[in-house]
Structure 1
Amino acid sequence: MTKDQYKESIKLHELRTPLFGIQSTLEYILDQLDQLDQDMIQELLGKVLLSCKRMDNSLIKLQRWATLDKGSDEPESYLSCQKLLEKKIGSKPNFKLGVIRDFKLVFREDQLSFLLDELVENASKFHSSKEPIQVILDVNQLIILNHQNNLNPTQVFHPEPFFQINRPIREQQGLGLGLAICQAYARQNNTELTFQISKGIFRAVLKSC
């Protein structure tokens, strides 16, 4: 399989899998409707809803990827990165925020919201330790540290669209677009977003230029 064929298979797999789950579950409910109690129906419909959300998330990212070069709103000035993060992770018990030095950030609102949500989601999704995910504000940079066991012990990680690491084991990775979109948004807003893993710690750094 060529690299282009592999990437195409990722797209088809990530879109068709939740759709197949929705279809098969609804067919089962209709076929067994007279024999299913309300609790079972609610459980099955909950699985349908999760599949719908997964597909919707993939389609939204595909749209964002397709419109990266199109115009966006003017950047806004955020005086406190700390306040932004407190809104994103304040209610999440598996995150710990440490502030060495708060800083100002100039960024397009919609793009910044997507970027922060994606970094938080990625850290939560692949975190492999009972220790909290560390979020640190230092001089002009936001650092997110979490344990991940699906990457090589030490490497610089470059997000690649429609690519999954250890795909047979970790099929829940999605389209592989989220972090690639985040890097593109960072460049468009005169910031730098890099990723590195060392000794099992995945490090995402957003640096304000």
Structure 2
Amino acid sequence: MNIKKSYKFAFKSATAIIFFVALALYALNYFSQANLSLTACLIFIAVIYLFAFFLLQYRIEKFIYNRVQKIYKHLVLLDPVNAKKLEIRNDMNTLLKEVEQFTSSKKIEIDNLKIQEEYRRDFLGNVAHELKTPLFTVQGYLETLLDGAMHDKSVREKYLERAQNGVDRLIYIVNDLDLITKIESDVVNLNKTNFDIVELFKEVFELLELNADKKGIILLFDRKHHKPIYVKADKDKIRQVLINLVENSIKYGNEKGSTEVSIEPLIKNKLIVKITDNGLGIDKKNLPRVFERFYRVDKSGARSQGGSGLGLAIVKHIIEAHQERIYVNSELKKGSEFSFTLELGQELLD
């Protein structure tokens, strides 16, 4: 039987009171020679006992309620929405559990806010750092031209071309920032269609062929695909994924190396796409962070390679928006493999 602790307190208190009253009655009867019957004494004791019990119980509950009410008022100040849903209770065990749950949830919220604040500081610092380099580059060339170099035609054209490259880099960074912000905010809706991913890879290869030729890198498939391989996804977004991954493999690939693409069945309605290179590779300790915004594995030469530092973060968000998975395997100085899953198109499922 579950008896409230306040009842036990009231019971013990009432027992002590009635014991005192019984002694008083006995003394009164003994010294005053009052002829009180046993029945009358018992009735008197029972009345006093019940009165003391309910009085103490009422006073205790009111005392606890008043104190607990103050606690709930503080909770309402901390969280007006959720705290108002809580029912004020006198039971201390239930109260303790509710307060512990409340403080635990607040601790988690505070920890998340700290993480978000740190993330915000890092993000702003990274954005400022990424924008600063091309801005200062453009500013330097324009100031040089305004100081008199513009009168020399050869210098003028060269500096204007370099300033233009700086502006292009700024636009590239801003566009990537805009894209990743929209993706993270679920502003961009996926327009899923059936399309041939082999053909899409060929388009990407043609687009990046010039970049690959500059480093002598060969772009190839692991085997010949005589038939189209249809997938169901947002074609434009997947094109962005392929461009980012292939461009990344070229950027960090070795001279006269290769970037190889393989497309393999995974399960009944899924396939896996792999982009493999034999380039610089990634140290094992850096692998968990490669998809972070602005995180660069090669701190020394990364910025000289260009890019916004957002490519892999965009890839991850696009793949996860499709409810798919992306993986990375790499070994330092031996190369990297980025792979992701996609849903098979209806043509293949049929």
TM range (shorter): 0.7 to 0.9
Tell me the SS of whatever aligns to 1:141: strand
- The offset of 1:154, in angstroms, is 8.3
Partner of 2:136 in structure 1?
20
Amino acid at match of 2:280: N
Tell me the SS of whatever aligns to 1:162: coil
Superposition pairs of residues 28-43 of structure 1, within 5 angstroms: 28-33=144-149, 35-36=151-152, 38-43=153-158
Kept in 2, the 8 Å contact 1:195–1:205? The answer is: yes
- The offset of 1:153, in angstroms, is 6.0
Partner of 1:115 in structure 2?
241
Tell me the SS of whatever aligns to 1:176: coil
Number of paired residues? 206
Of the structure 1 ranges 95-104 and 20-29, higher mean CA displacement relative to structure 2 is found in 95-104
**Change in CA separation of 1:75 and 1:164 when aligned onto 2, cut-off 3 Å:** same
Which consecutive residues of structure 1, in runs of 5 or more, have no partner in the other structure?
A: none
Partner of 1:76 in structure 2?
193
Amino acid at match of 1:195: V
1:191 is the counterpart of 2:307: no
**Change in CA separation of 1:148 and 1:11 when aligned onto 2, cut-off 3 Å:** farther
Picking from 98, 101, 112, the partner of 2:222 is 98
- The offset of 1:180, in angstroms, is 1.3
- The offset of 1:97, in angstroms, is 2.5
Q: Percent identity?
A: 17
Partner of 1:136 in structure 2?
262
Tell me the SS of whatever aligns to 2:292: coil
Partner Cα separation in structure 2 for residue 50 and residue 167 of structure 1: 22
Amino acid at match of 1:206: F
Tell me the SS of whatever aligns to 1:163: coil
Partner Cα separation in structure 2 for residue 34 and residue 74 of structure 1: 49
1:177 is the counterpart of 2:310: yes
Larger radius of gyration: 2
Relative contact order higher in (CA < 8 Å, ≥ 6 apart): 1
Kept in 2, the 8 Å contact 1:143–1:206? The answer is: yes
Amino acid at match of 1:202: S
Partner Cα separation in structure 2 for residue 147 and residue 3 of structure 1: 35
Partner of 1:203 in structure 2?
337
Partner Cα separation in structure 2 for residue 42 and residue 96 of structure 1: 38
Amino acid at match of 2:130: E
Which consecutive residues of structure 2, in runs of 5 or more, have no partner in the other structure?
A: 1-116, 266-270, 344-350
Of the structure 1 ranges 10-19 and 104-113, higher mean CA displacement relative to structure 2 is found in 104-113
Q: Please, what TM-score do these two structures have when normalized by structure 1?
A: 0.85
Tell me the SS of whatever aligns to 1:116: helix
More helix by share: 2
More strand by share: 1
Kept in 2, the 8 Å contact 1:100–1:137? The answer is: no
Amino acid at match of 1:167: K
Kept in 2, the 8 Å contact 1:97–1:134? The answer is: yes
1:53 is the counterpart of 2:177: no
Partner Cα separation in structure 2 for residue 147 and residue 44 of structure 1: 36
**Change in CA separation of 1:34 and 1:193 when aligned onto 2, cut-off 3 Å:** closer
- The offset of 1:191, in angstroms, is 2.8
**Change in CA separation of 1:105 and 1:67 when aligned onto 2, cut-off 3 Å:** same
**Change in CA separation of 1:62 and 1:198 when aligned onto 2, cut-off 3 Å:** same
